[in-house]
Structure 1
Amino acid sequence: MDAAIKDHKCVATSNDIYVDTKSWNLTHKLISSFLNTARAGSAHKDADMSVNSFFLGIGASAGYFLFQLFAFSLLRRIASNIYQSNSVLRRYENNSTLDFSNRNPSIWERFTSKYVPRIFKESIDNYEAIVGLDGFLFMRFLKKLILLFSLLSLGIVPVLIPLHLTSSDNNKNDLTRVFNSTQPQSNRIDKINMSNISMKKSDRLVCHFIFALIIIVAFQFFIVAELKYAYGKINTTVITKSYQNIVFVDNIPAEVLKDDSKIMEYFNKIQPNSVVAAARLPNNIFEIRKTHKNIERHAYIIEKIISKIILEKFFKVGHLLLSTNDPSVEIPPTSLMVLSYHQLCQKILFNLRSFDKYFYCELKFKLQKIKPSKYFVYIPQFKRKSALEYQYDSLDREIHYYQKYLDLWLTYFPKKNEPDSSTIPGNEKMQEYSNKAFLLFNSVSQAMQFYQLLQSSSVCQWNYPMIGAHPKDIIWINIVGRNPITITLRKLAGRLIGVLVILGWIVPIAFIGLVTQIPYLTNLLPYSNHFNVTSKCLRDVTKAVFPLVTLIFLTEFVPYIFRVISYLKGCRTGAEIEMDIQRWFFMFLLVHIFFVVTISSGLSLLLEKLLISPVSIPNILAHDLPKSSNFFCSFILLRGFAYSGGNIIRLKELFFEIVYYRPRMPTPHNKMQRLKKNLFFQWGSIYPLFTVIGCICIIYSIIAPFILPLAVLSLSLVYYSFKYLFIYQFNSENISETHGKLYPEALSQLYAGIYCMELSLIGLFALFNCYKLSTSMAFMSILTVLIHAEISKKFIRRLHNLHLNSLHDYTSSDSISPRAESLESYIFPPITNEIWVPTDQMGIAENERPYLQASLSLKCDFEKAYITKFGNICINPDISE
């Protein structure tokens, strides 16, 4: 057969041979180029980056950030409901209502509005009451990292960078050959990192060892001090928070499940007067919550229709308000034409929002005889109604539906002052309960004592306790359908999927390494030179920025995947989801942003090395870390520019405001909720990113000290962007508050940076044949593990439960008074029983008052919203909800 094939090749034409050889060579070059470079870390492409290329990439990122800052300065005054929602609600900057001002601000005030000095002067101690303990401790986390890296920069950068610059050797046997780098050049950014040290000057590594010891010792003191602060802060803060005296318990025995009083009696036997109320979870909890959702939906529609009726009448006579000579009416100092134009724009917008009124027709059937015959048929007749008739008909219909669901709701709600609610007609649905209940304790200290007691129980009853859950934060499907076997299987499946996500995300991360090889195509593929960028400056910017931006985008979507996985695991509250996401997202970022990007663009090579030689981890880190220093210096600064710019410009919210909220008809309640809840934070997804940045800075603090001042700048930008959000925008309660539990976890995760730094230095010292330093660093690694274990035992594990001794001082002074209403809100959420009717200067709302009071069972409030001269619905700034 081989001979036949050989003969066949011999008779082939020369042209055929040329085509086959060319195709084979092209394919071979493509595959070889991609495969050979893909098994090197994608961060290694920046190993020989010049100083010009480095600063071009940084300059491009800084330029985009400045553009975002300029756009924000313009949009801040135009879209004040997004960028100054607190100023609209609380009138931070002035005491006037939302109207035009006579004063022409200067250019500086127009772009800053004096908010820049304020975000620098404002103390973070004021944030706890605004954003909760999680947000306050996050700001402290950033502030302490900035302080730590600033001190390290002052001590390390002036010593190690000059030492690196003067430690090179023109001999080709220096360490640059060990790192597979090109010959050192004067314009290479690598000259300021550790890879520039030659083998002949390895005695200078003693300085690196000393600074590493200083970092390790300082880090231990830093962690202990912050954990002590967090421990005391959490203990003293949780005691004052709402719902902390409410405990959920599962698997209640059947003999005490018959009545709430029996559950209370069971606990009061252990400690008298400890439980003041109990609420069993009914089996029809989903039906109750569905009814509640329908009530809220129809209440919203009723308020929207009432606003439409008033605006429909207002725009018919609103032009009279602009031309009135009444001195009591304030007219802005603008021409009548401009005022009329603004009102016309609002009228057009209102008509577009309520365009359905033009298509409303009433369908009736009239019995009519067909003249040629004796038969009668029903002929449809369409009668078009006016916009007001259409709105009034819709209002009557919605009032009917609202009352229907409200009557159904009252059948669920237990009647008070009755000996047995099951005997009341209509309350038969409340006779069946699940083996779960919420318990209201007399004090937080008693609730915490019983919570820890139930948590340590190993029996099959009175288990799976949960304390301090916000009623709106509970995931009811994971509460009601909780079965021990099912939950175990769901947790195992969730962890397996989480591991698969971490491993499977290697494919898109490896794409970063692939796209950096695009220049190969211009040399290998025919006719591809037309797509080659001739500008060297543009090529350098693309090479420096594109991989970083790609990495950022690829990691932005992962928290949403882990959020679904946490839901699958059976997390019962959003707070539990945040804590679960923090652990998994940190592992993901550490693996992909650091290990995969640094060591290999595919995990296969890393696993191959570890399987062949498990003890080669220090050598792997020592070989690959210096080559990745330029990449991470760029990444740290670019991430700071991108994150802080995204915080202030908020493109997603701006897009939804234009595309979704503006076309919708706003109601007073809707505008208030929009102002208060247009910004929220999911701290479990935010903490890990900056924890990993802190780890990277610790790892490279010795290898590439230049990363420390860059980290200080990057984290400072993020820090002040959050300060602006807290002062001017954030105004909502964080229902998924973990009460500070994320902060100690983030501090503990920083140890990953210390371990990687120690392992890399062990390998680096070994590469320089400094075995005494390598052995000493190995000893320090063992000591670090022991100290970490002791700190974890003393602080981290105890932070999940309050220390009972710390509660004795608060037992008699708990700020939370036991109220049965707060317990009932878990089963029966509060419903909307008030409609805000916007008033106007033409008296239209007052004319509607008799009709509304006669038709609605809801209370109508005429003081919390008003209509401006142009037809805008605004919230009265003097009220608070």
Structure 2
Amino acid sequence: MDFFNSDKFTNFLNTTQTGSAHSSHGIDFPIFMQTLFTSICFCTIQLTLFCLLRSIFNYLYQPRCFCVPINERMEILPRGFIKWIIPTLQSSINTYLSLGLDAYFFVRFISVLSLFFLLIGSLNMIILIPINFTGNSIEFTAAGLDKLSLSNIANSNVSRLNAHFIMGLLTIGVFHWLIIYEFQSFVIIKQSYLLSESHKNSIMARTLLIFNVPHYLQDEQVLRDLFQFVPGGVTHIWHVCDFEKIDHQVEKAKDALNLLEKSQILALKGYYCSISLLWQKKEQQNDALYRVKKDIKFFPPIYCRMIKFPQIDRSLRLKLPGWLRLFALQKRVSMLNWALETLQECHLKIDEEKLKLANGQLSKHNKIFIEFQDHKGACIANQCLLSQSQGCFDKTLIEVHPQDIIWRNISRTDGIGCKFEKYIVTILFISIIVLYVIPVSLIHSLSQIPLLIHLMPFLKWIYQFPEEARQTISGFLPSILLTILTEFVMITFRFLTYFKGKATGSEVELDLQKWFFAFLFVQQFLVVTISSSVTVICKQIIDQPTSIPVLLATNLPKSATFFFQYICLRAFAFCGNNFLRITQLALTNSYYKIVDITPRQKFNRITALPQIQWGTTFAVYSIYACIGISYSIVSPLISIFIIFFLNLSILYYKYALKYVYSHINTSETMGRLYPIALLHLFTGIYCLECCLIGVFFLSKDSSGKYVMRIQGWIMTGVLFFTIFANTLIYNRYLPYFSDLPILSDKLYKDEKKCESSSTPVNSTINSSTNHEFLYLHPAFKYEKPKIWLPKDPKGFSNLQIEEIQSRSAAIKGATSGAEVQVGKFLKTLKMHISEAPPDYK
């Protein structure tokens, strides 16, 4: 602890409070390229590997062509080093409607941003860069890349800022036109999608989740009578019943099944490795069967009792690893015997809970799912205030995917403890946003090698590197560390959002989008650009609110080169890492081969396609767009880097959404993330306008006169107009974010177009799930599994299944869909999966 009381740490805390991005102010283009050279090399290597491995590891790079049901598979891309690029780029944006509105609007979002920066960025670069470059004088000239920005205009040429004024007005005008056009398009496309026949007939469109249903209103007949006002009436009602006991038993049964199949695979391997000479006679095979199995013993997992926290209405179950039984001096037990006994015990208790459910003997929580006859009925109920009593029927959700429900939050009562928990999480979010200045300040120190070595002398060996290498390190290291810190915050936010009591994953995504954007804006833009402390910024704004334009005008131009570097590094890292999927590639060829022992484990791994978490993804692109908009006039060159990043993103997402990611988005928000992302772009416009206001009011000519004050006042008026427009647009379109207009005659002309290009993601629910159990907890849908073992050349798996069935007649087994090939000397087994498990639903 003496270090924190030392003079070195005091000096560190007393360093300048300017934003860390100022360290890149005035660097030359060769130095700028040196910082990017390493990233360019890595990205090139990764893309080359992807092009080479794409057709080899089909399950990794084209899983939607192989790892989904046949009727849902995409057409296989042609083989060849770069033959995948043209078919990917030629994919129409309307094809992504089949993946849901979130996917469609995200592709549209980055496409629209790319077109915006291509249009406005090109105009600004063509007009402003020559003006900036020749705007210096003998007395004043900027350094490095800043010669291309507003920073290069000398006092004697201050009249040149009129071009920035005109282009600023044009940029703001085009932005507002784009926002209004996209909002109108959002309304039309979303409503056409929701009114398509395939979507209207889906159960999700007709089902409503209702919160805070009083106990005396939970009778099914009473509910049907209450909702008689809805056209068509009620079709089905699902109560949220107590699922704690059955859920615990189902988890134990799944563990037992996994261990049972694992024991048989280990026995199969042991059979071929150790007893290969006993294949001639069946009796010897049976002898070999018992001889192998008697040695497969293990420590069973430890299931702890449920811990309840009544103050916040939460419960916790812990499962401890079995090796802890060593400390209790317990002995290993037979894996096969334990698994069979546990399965039988769990199945009895599961059947008991299902019988209680059928007889209405389980306690009910205060939420219900109601399916209406018609989708308009569900929409009417969703848009109505359902109760005269405050606190009853006070919240509803529509379009809830059964697999998206957060059951631990659904089962809670929204009492004082739950509300207190929400406030605590909100305070934690704000604290993280404010206090994250500490690691950002450390990153700032890393960009200044002398300061870093002064703080930590043991790093003097850095001076052994050439000057170019040190400049490269100080250039790209902060951007890399900022990216890592951002990923860590995103994980933390997602974890904490669970404790805000959100009922579905879609609600989590909507909440995360706002908070993560706030974090990115404060920490990756304001703090990096203006000051190394949020408190300093807030104090200055509170003491003198009119200083905001001055803050931006004096700090934004100095940070432009940093964001050139940061966006380029993000573009190269994003492109290389996401296309190659290096982590998954390494795990697939190492760790997964070790842990995926059974056919079921391997099948689940192959078919578990990743899903994009759209809330944080939208927020990331919103902040990059805001940065680009903020600098579009100050340093127009940024448009090149933004366009480069956006086009790489379009290429990746068009490829990944069609061939890598799951076609089912369980946390689908039905496009509600898109208007929020559009509204977030106003943040960039506000920064641009405030910066220009500050520039115009601070600019003096060679005689010391403030000759741009009129332009400053006009831009101030434009700022107030933007605030008015922002409020007007929000209030006008807010009802369309979640609600569906009942009178939709205007949209019927667009319905056929949407119908032909989309198959809603929830349309598969009707045919694949038992309707009666659709909106019950997954544990109530559990069915007794079948043991799944692979076929082997000598039929040993069949003997295993027969032996298991002789001990437990209720357990069935099969070997279809999986096969093992025996390697040389009977020591290795290679497993192949050709079909789904026999009990797959």
Give the TM-score band, short-chain normalised.
Answer: 0.7 to 0.9
Secondary structure of the residue aligned to 2:142 is coil
Asked if the contact 1:522–1:532 (Cα under 8 Å) also holds between the matched residues in 2, the reply is: no
CA contact (8 A) 1:626 1:704 kept: yes
Q: Partner amino acid for 2:468? A: C
Contact 1:440 1:820 in 2 (8 A): no
Partners of 2:278 and 2:835 lie apart in 1 by 26
**1:646 equivalent in alignment to 2:577:** yes
How many angstroms does 1:711 deviate by? 0.8
Give the one of 205, 219, 222 matched to 1:244. Answer: 205
Question: 1-side partners of 2:263 and 2:502: how far apart?
Answer: 39
Query: 8 Å contact 1:53–1:540 — kept in the other structure?
Result: yes
Q: Give the structure 2 partner of residue 486 of structure 1.
A: 417
Distance 2:506 2:457 in 1: 56
In structure 2, the residue matched to 1:253 is: 214
Deviations 1:720-778 (A, max 9, x none): 22233223322363222212111111111111001110110111111223011111111
Matched, 1:722 2:683: no
Partner of 1:707: 638
Give the alignment partner of residue 161 of structure 1, picking from 120, 129, 132.
Answer: 129
CA contact (8 A) 1:291 1:408 kept: yes
TM-score (norm 2): 0.81
Work out which of the residue numbers 440, 444, 466 in structure 1 matches 2:375. 444
What is the match of residue 252 of structure 2? 294
Which residue of structure 1 lines up, in the alignment, with residue 820 of structure 2? 867
Q: Which residue of 2 aligns with 1:176?
A: none
The reply on whether 1:263 has 2:223 as its aligned counterpart is yes
Take 1:524 and 1:251, find their aligned partners in 2: how far apart are those partners? 57
**Correspondence for 2:531:** 600
Whether 1:698 and 2:666 are equivalent positions in the alignment is no
Residue correspondence of structure 1 range 123-522 to structure 2 within 5 A: 123-129=92-98, 131-172=99-140, 184-185=142-143, 188-238=144-194, 240=199, 242-257=203-218, 259-268=219-228, 270-271=229-230, 273-282=232-241, 284-310=242-268, 312-313=270-271, 360=297, 394-395=335-336, 397-414=338-355, 421=359, 430-454=361-385, 459-520=390-451
How many Å separate the matches in 2 of 1:527 and 1:303?
Answer: 54
Cα drift, residue 856 of structure 1: 5.0
Find the aligned partners of 1:396 and 1:620 in 2 and give their Cα distance: 72
Matches within 5 A, 1:79-118: 79-89=57-67, 111-112=81-82, 114-118=83-87
User: What residue in structure 1 maps to residue 774 of structure 2?
Assistant: 822
What CA distance in whole angstroms lies between the structure 2 residues aligned with 1:395 and 1:868? Answer: 24
Contact 1:91 1:877 (8 Å CA) reproduced: no
Q: Equivalents in 1 of 2:509, 2:631: separation in Å?
A: 29
| Cα deviation, residue 314, structure 1 | 5.8
- The 1:456–1:255 alpha-carbon spacing in structure 2 relative to 1, beyond 3 Å, is closer
The CA distance in 1 between the partners of 2:502 and 2:776, in whole Å, is 22
Shift of 1:43: 0.5
2:420 and 2:388 map into 1 onto residues whose CA distance is 22
In the other structure, the counterpart of 2:31 is: 53
Take 2:292 and 2:167, find their aligned partners in 1: how far apart are those partners? 70
TM-aligned CA deviation for residue 658 of structure 1: 5.4
Instruction: Go from structure 1 to structure 2 and tell me whether the alpha carbon gap of 1:115 and 1:672 turns closer, same or farther (over 3 Å shift).
Output: farther
* Paired residues, number: 752
Alignment deviations for residues 48-99 of structure 1 (CA, whole Å, 9 cap, x no partner)? 211111111122221221122234345546654333333442699xx9xx9x
* Residues 295, 831 of structure 1: 8 Å contact kept: no
Task: Judge conservation of contact 1:38–1:513 (CA < 8 Å) in 2.
Answer: no
Query: What residue in structure 1 maps to residue 558 of structure 2?
Result: 627
Which residue identity lines up with residue 69 of structure 1 in the other structure?
A: L
CA contact (8 A) 2:386 2:394 kept: yes
C-alpha separation in 1, matches of 2:153 and 2:246 = 71
Instruction: Name the CA distance, whole Å, in 1 between partners of 2:293 and 2:103.
Output: 44
Q: Which amino acid aligns with 1:191?
A: K
Q: Distance in 2 between matches of 1:159 and 1:272?
A: 60
Does 2:730 correspond to 1:792? yes
Q: What's 1:833 paired with? A: 785
Deviation (angstroms), 1:446: 1.2
Query: What residue in structure 2 maps to residue 120 of structure 1?
Result: 89
Output one character per residue of 1:487-536: Cα deviation in whole Å (capped at 9) or x when no partner: 33222222211111111111111112222232246689989765414512
Distance 1:143 1:120 in 2: 12
Counterpart Cα distance in 1 of 2:444 and 2:293: 53
For 1:756 and 1:152, the matched residues in 2 are separated by 17
Q: What is the CA deviation profile of residues 197-227 of structure 1, one whole-angstrom value per residue up to 9, with x for unaligned ones?
A: 1122122222212211221121112112222
Q: 2-side partners of 1:557 and 1:522: how far apart? A: 26
The answer to whether the 8 A contact 2:35-2:471 is kept is yes
- Of 686, 709, 726, 1:771 maps to 709
* Contact 2:20-2:528 at 8 Å conserved across structures: yes
- CA deviations 1:434-466 (Å, max 9, x no partner) are 333222222222112112224786623223323
Q: Secondary structure at the match of 1:281?
A: strand
Query: 2: distance between equivalents of 1:550 and 1:600?
Result: 18
**Structure 2 CA distance for aligned equivalents of residues 412 and 532 of structure 1:** 70
Asked if structure 2 preserves the Cα contact closer than 8 Å seen for 1:291 and 1:405, the reply is yes
Of the structure 1 ranges 502-511 and 468-477, higher mean CA displacement relative to structure 2 is found in 468-477
Which one has a bigger Cα radius of gyration? 1
> Offset at 1:561?
1.7
TM-score (ref. length: structure 1): 0.78
Aligned CA distance change for structure 1 residues 253 and 189 (closer, same or farther; 3 Å)? closer
Show the counterpart of 2:703.
none
Residue 739 of structure 2 aligns with an amino acid whose one-letter code is N
Q: What letter matches 1:790 in structure 2?
A: L
Query: What do the CA deviations read for 1:332-364 (whole angstroms, capped 9, x no partner)?
Result: xxxxxxxxxxxxxxxxxxxxxx999856599xx
Secondary structure at the counterpart of residue 437 of structure 1? strand
Spell out, residue by residue over 1:393-439, the C-alpha distance to the aligned partner (whole angstroms, 9 max, x if none).
Answer: 644542332232122112222489x8xx25xxxxxxx2533333222
- Name stretches of at least 5 consecutive residues in structure 1 with no aligned partner: 1-26, 99-107, 173-182, 322-353, 363-390, 423-429
Tell me the CA shift for residue 620 of structure 1. Answer: 0.7
Give 2:549's match in structure 1, choosing from 601, 604, 618: 618
Is 1:559 the counterpart of 2:503? The answer is no
AA in 2 matched with 1:72: F
Question: Which amino acid is the alignment partner of residue 92 of structure 2?
Answer: S
Distance in structure 1 (CA, Å) of the matches to 2:298 and 2:169: 82
**Amino acid paired to 1:829:** K
- The percentage of counterpart residues that share the same residue type is 28
Preserved contact between residue 88 and residue 655 of structure 2 (Cα < 8 Å)? yes
1:6-17 matches, within 5 Å, as none
- Distance in 1, matches of 2:62 and 2:237, equals 43
Q: Deviations over 1:669-710 (max 9, x none)?
A: 322221222522211121111110000000101111111011
- The alpha-carbon distance between structure 1 residues 765 and 73, as it changes in their structure 2 partners (threshold 3 A), is same
